[in-house]
Chains A and B, each alone.
Chain A
Amino acid sequence: MITANSYMHEMVRSELSWALGDDHVQTGDSDKLGHSIDYYWVPEVWHDRGRTLPAPDFVVYPGSAAEVSEVIKIANTHGIPVIPWGGGSGSQGGALPVYGGIVMDMKRMNRLLAIDPVSMTATAEAGINTQHLEWAVEKVGYSTMHFPASIACATLGGFIANRGTGVLSTKYGKIEDMVMTLEVVTPTGEIINTLPVPRHASGPDLAQLFLGSEGTLGVVTKATIKIHPVPESRRFHAFLFRNMHDAMGAGAKIMTTRLRPCVIRLYDEPETARLIKRVLGIDRCGAYLVFGFDGPAASVDLEMGQACAICRQAEPEDLGPDMGQAWWDHRYKFFYPPYMFHLPQAFGTLDTVATFANIEKVYWAMKNVVGEKFPQAAFIGHFSHWYEWGCMLYARFIIEDPPRDPHEAVALYNRIWDTAIRAAIREGGVINEHHGVGLKLGRMMKDLYGPAFRVLEDIKGALDPNNIMNPGKMGFRAKGS
C-alpha cells in the first residue's frame, strides 16, 4: 500500500485523474470501505469483529477500454496492483485488494451497445449490471437466459471473470457457453479482441483463456453474448424422493436420456428440511427434486411427460407443478436476508462439480469428513447445473456459533475448507463450478491441476510480466514474490 498523504500517493492519484478525470478517481473512506469487502465470509467476519481490512489506495471508474488501458499503464509504471471489480458480489475474495493498489470498478462501463436480431446476439460493456442487461434485452423481446442468484448484483464482466452460471444453465449454458467474443485489455495495456465466433479451428480458443481468469490475465471490457427468444411455454414439476440417492438416479437419467430440461435442482434431505421448508413451506422428510422445461409448448409437454415418467419409476411423492412453479417464483428468495446464512453464523459453499459416476462419492466424502472432524458444523447440499455427464454439488457447511476471536474463526473456517475440498478432489471433484477460485481456493490450484498448473503460471508470467493484475489470486504468485 502507498501511504496516504505521501507524495507518491499524490503522484499516482494525479496521473489517474489526468487519465480518467477527477470524478472518476476516489480515495475517500466510504469508497475504500465499500471495496474492501465482497461476499467472502472472511472479510465479513473481520469487519464484524471491528478489525481493519486491507483497502485499496485508489478506486477508479474507467469509462472506456482506452481508459482501462491508461490505468494499467500507470500501474505498470509504478508497480501497483490493479484489481478489477464488477459488482463485488463474488464469494471467493477474488476482487479484494489484499495488497492495496488500484481497484478498477467497471460499473461505469454499463452500456448495451447493440442487439443483432438476425444472429440473436447482444453486445454490451462489461460493467453493465446483469439485471439491467436482462431488462433491456427483454424490452425488445429477448432474454439472455442468464438468471443467477446474483443477477441483481453482479456485472457481465464479473460473470465472465468467474465463469458464472445461471439457474437455466442446463439448457442455455454457463457464461462461457453464452459468450461469442470478448474485448480485453491485457496486463500491459493492449486492447485486443478475440475471434468473432466461438466455434472455429483457428487455433486454441483465446476467449476461453480469459473466461474465468478473474482479472489476473487482463480486464474484459466488452462482450457479445447470445440472446434467446422468450419461450412460448415454461413449466416446472417437483417430486419428493425418499432419499437423495433415488432422486440423483432420476435426475441423471433425465440427463443421460438426453432430454433437455432448462433446470434441474435436487436438495439433499437436510437442505430440504432446512431451506425448502423455510422458503416453500414443504414440511416433510425426503429429497426435493424440481425440474423445468421451456420452448415450444408441444415439445415442453412431451419432454415434461417423459421426465415425470422417469421420476415416477422411483415412486416419489408427486408434489406436482405448483410446487415446482413455487420454487421458480421464489428462486432468489433463498439469497435475501434473513433466508440466506449470515453472521454470526460461519458458512461456506463447497462448490464442486463432477461426473455422475463420482458426484455422490464427492458428496459423501465431503459430508463425512466435515461430520467427523468438525462436529460443530452442519452440512447441507443441493445439486444444481446439470450436464449430459454430471452436475454441480452446491454443498454448504454452517456453524451456528463460530469463535468470537476472528483469528480463531478464520483458522477454523480455512481448516474446514481445506479438509472438505481436498476430500472432494480425491474423489474426482473439481473446484469449482461457478464461484471461481479467488483468494479462498488459490492454494488448492496446484493440487487440482497437478503439473498442468505450470502452464497457467507460464501464461500468467508471459502476459503480466510485472504481476500487477490481481496478484495473489487464483493460485498465482503474490505481489512481490
Chain B
Amino acid sequence: MHIDNHGDVIAACRFCFMCRHLDPVGNVTFREADTPRGRALILDRVRMAQERLANPDFIDTMYRSALSGANRQHCVSHYDETGLVLAARRDIVAAGLAPEPVKALAHELVRATFAIEGRGSSLYFGDHPRLYPECATLSGGDPGVALEALGFAGEAAEVLGRLRGVIAASGSGTLVVGEPSSYVFLKKRLGGIAVVHCSEYLLSTAPEAGPARRAVYLESDFLRNYADGMDAPRRLLRRHGYELAPFGTNAEESHAVGEGAVVFDALQPELCKRLCRRIRELADNPAADLFITPSRHAKAALRKYHPEMRVVSLEEAVTQERSHK
C-alpha cells in the first residue's frame, strides 16, 4: 500500500495534537477525525488490517481533508500528513473504492487537452493572457494536480504527459503559471523548462508605486506551504499600489478555503461553504474590504458563497490597478 511508504508520518502524527488548531476542516467540523491525528489513527488501523480501507466512513474522512499543508508547515519536523492522505487516496483508488463523485470528477479531468496560441519565447498558462503580450498562451484544463489530489496518480501522469508534449513542441524556455496549484505541481514535475509563478514574472515589469489602496491578501496554501512562503505576490501588489492589511489573527492558518484539495468545492460543497463562512467571520470588514487571492479556487468559492465580499485574483488586482491609471 502507498501508505506504507509514510510509516514515519503515521507514527509521528497518530498521537500528536500539536498542529490540530491549523486544520481548516477540523476548525469548521470540530471533529477529531478531521485532524492530522484523527486521520493518522485511521490509517494506522488500515495499516494493521488492509480490509479496513473499505470502511466508507474512513474513505469519506480521507476525502474531507482540504490538504492545506498548514499542519506540515507548522510541525517543527515537517511531517507530511498531506502526503499521507494523498497516499491513502491512491490506495483507495487502486482498490476500486473511490466514491462515485470522486470517480466522476476524475473522469472529467482526465480528458483535459492543451493547445498553444500566439508566439513568444515564453509560455503563459492562466486566465489573463492580456497581461502577458510577449508570451504565447498555453490553454487547457487541469495539468494533473487535481487528479493527483483525488488519488488518480496514473491518470495525472497521463495528462501531464500530454501537456509536456505540447510544451516541448513549442520550444519555449519559460512557462509562466497563474494558478498556484499548477505552478507548484509543474515546477516539481515538468522538467526541461523554467517554471515561474506569474507574480515573479510580473514583478520584473511592475512599476514602483506608493501605497494607495487598502486590500487584504488571502495567502495561497500552495505558495506558502509548498513554495517556501513565496513573497513575490505581496511585493507585486505593493508595487502596484496596494497597501496590504493582515488577514485574521495569525499567519499560519489556511485562508484558501480548500485550495490544497484543488477541486474541493466540486467534491465537498458543504464543507467549502463552511470554510468560506469562517473566512468571512475572521475578516475585519468583509463588506468593505477588497480581498486579493492568487488562487482561482479561493476566489471562485468565496464569490459563490459570499457574493457580498469583493474578491479578486492576483492578476485581476494588477489589471484593475492598471485600468485605474
Most A C-beta atoms less than 10 A away, residue of B21, B22, B27 = B21
How close is B272's CB to chain A, nearest CB, in angstroms?
Answer: 15
Contact flag A153-B18 (CB < 8 Å), given A30-B57, A132-B249, A337-B12: yes
Bound complex: CA A461 to CA B41 (Å): 37
- In the assembled complex, which residues on chain B have CB atoms less than 8 Å from the CB atom of A34? 31-33, 35, 37-38, 41
Contact yes or no, A338 B12, CB < 8 A: yes
Q: Which of B22, B32, B77 contacts A35 (CB 8 A)?
A: B32
Residues of A within 8 A of B31 (CB): 26, 30-31, 34, 59, 61, 105
Closest A residue, CB atoms, query B74: A152
Question: Contacts A34-B37, A132-B249, A139-B249 given: A39-B32 contact, CB under 8 Å?
Answer: no
**A342 vs B30: C-alpha distance when bound (angstroms):** 26
Contacts of A30 in B (CB 8 A): 31, 33, 38, 42, 57-58, 60-61
CA of A29 to CA of B77, assembled, Å? 29
The reply to whether A28 and B57 form a contact with Cβ atoms under 8 Å apart is yes
Given the interface pairs A139-B249, A152-B19, A153-B17, the reply to whether A338 lies near B38 with Cβ below 8 Å is: no
Q: How far is the CB of B212 from chain A (nearest CB, A)?
A: 25
B57 touches A29 (CB 8 A): yes
Task: Name the distance in Å between B280's Cβ and chain A's nearest Cβ.
Answer: 15
Q: Is B310 an interface residue when CB atoms closer than 8 A count as contact? A: no
Report if B16 contacts A (CB, 8 A). Answer: yes
Chain B residues with Cβ below 8 Å from A131 are 21
Closest to A35 in B: B32
Question: In the complex, are the beta carbons of A88 and B17 less than 8 A apart?
Answer: yes
A436 to chain B, nearest CB (A): 16
Instruction: Say yes or no: A33 contacts B17, CB within 8 Å.
Output: no
Interface residues of B in 34-63 (CB under 8 A from A): 35, 37-38, 41-42, 44-45, 48-49, 55, 57-58, 60-61
Contact between A37 and B15, CB atoms less than 8 A apart: yes
Q: Is B185 an interface residue (CB 8 A)?
A: no
Task: Looking at the assembled complex, report how far the CB atom of A135 sits from the nearest CB atom of chain B, in whole angstroms.
Answer: 4
Which of B27, B41, B42, B44 counts the most chain A CB atoms within 10 A?
A: B41
The answer to the question of A332 belonging to the interface, with a C-beta cut-off of 8 Å to chain B, is yes
Tell yes or no: B250 within 8 A of A by CB: yes
Residues of A within 8 A of B44 (CB): 47
- Closest B-chain residue to A134, C-beta based? B249
CA distance A336 to B17 in the complex (A): 9
Bound-state Cα–Cα, A135 to B49, Å? 41
Bound: A89/B49 CA distance, A: 26
Q: Is A281 an interface residue (CB 8 A)?
A: no
Inter-subunit contact B75/A336 (CB<8 Å): yes
Number of A residues whose C-beta is below 8 Å from B?
Answer: 44
If A33-B41, A337-B12, A337-B77 touch, whether A105 touches B30 (CB-CB below 8 Å) is: yes
Interface string of A40-67 (1 = CB under 8 A from B): 0000100100100000000101000000
Number of interface residues of B (CB under 8 A): 37
Is A174 part of the binding interface, using a Cβ–Cβ cutoff of 8 Å? no
Known: A33-B45, A135-B250. A336 touches B30 (CB 8 A): no
Q: Which of B1-32 contact A (CB under 8 A)?
A: 11-22, 27, 30-32
Is residue A69 contacting chain B, with contact meaning CB distance below 8 A? no
Please tell me if the beta carbons of B12 and A135 are within 8 angstroms of each other in the complex: no
List, in ascending order, chain B residues with CB within 8 A of A136's CB. Answer: 249
| With A37-B15, A135-B249, A337-B16 as contacts: A61 and B41 at CB distance below 8 Å | no
Q: Across the interface, which residues of B come within 8 angstroms of A110, CB to CB?
A: 30
Does A333 reach chain B (CB closer than 8 Å)?
Answer: yes
Contact residues, B228-284 vs A (CB, 8 A): 249-250
State the Cβ distance, B189 to closest chain A Cβ, in Å.
29
Give B75's nearest chain A residue, CB to CB.
Answer: A336
Are B20 and A152 within 8 A (Cβ)? Answer: yes
Closest A residue, CB atoms, query B26: A107
Interface centre among A31, A34, A105, A108, by most chain B C-beta atoms within 10 angstroms, is A34
Inter-chain contacts of A127 with B (CB < 8 A): 30
Query: CB distance B11 to A342 under 8 Å?
Result: yes
Residue B114 interfacial (CB < 8 Å): no
A362 to B20, CA, bound (A): 35
Cβ-neighbour of A37 out of B18, B27, B41 (below 8 A): B41
Question: How far is it, in angstroms, between the C-alpha of A39 and the C-alpha of B37 when the chains are bound?
Answer: 11
Q: Is A138 an interface residue (CB 8 A)?
A: yes
Task: With both chains docked as a complex, state the minimum distance between the C-beta of A460 and any C-beta of chain B, in angstroms.
Answer: 27
B17 touches A39 (CB 8 A): yes
The answer for the CA separation of A153 and B32 in the assembled complex, in Å, is 11
- Known contacts A132-B249, A135-B249, A139-B249; is A336 also within 8 Å of B38 by CB? no
The residue on B at minimum CB distance from A127 is B30
Question: Of A44, A47, A105, A150, which is within 8 A of B17 by CB?
Answer: A150
Interface 1/0s, chain A 6-46, versus B by CB < 8 A? 00000000000000000000101111011101010000100
Chain A 110-127, CB within 8 Å of chain B: the 1/0 string?
100000000000000001
- Chain B's nearest CB lies how many Å from the CB of A49? 9
Indicate whether B288 reaches chain A with its CB closer than 8 angstroms.
Answer: no
Could you tell me which residues of chain B, from 60 to 97, have a CB within 8 Å of some CB in chain A? 60-61, 75-77, 79
Other A-B pairs, 18, CB within 8 Å; known A88-B32, A150-B17: A28-B57, A28-B60, A30-B58, A31-B32, A33-B41, A34-B31, A34-B32, A34-B41, A39-B17, A50-B48, A105-B31, A129-B20, A152-B18, A153-B20, A332-B76, A337-B12, A339-B76, A343-B15
- Closest CB pairs A-B (n = 7): A34-B32, A153-B17, A135-B249, A30-B33, A107-B30, A337-B12, A28-B57
A-B contact pairs, 10 of them (CB 8 A): A29-B55, A31-B31, A34-B37, A37-B15, A129-B20, A152-B21, A336-B18, A337-B77, A338-B77, A339-B76
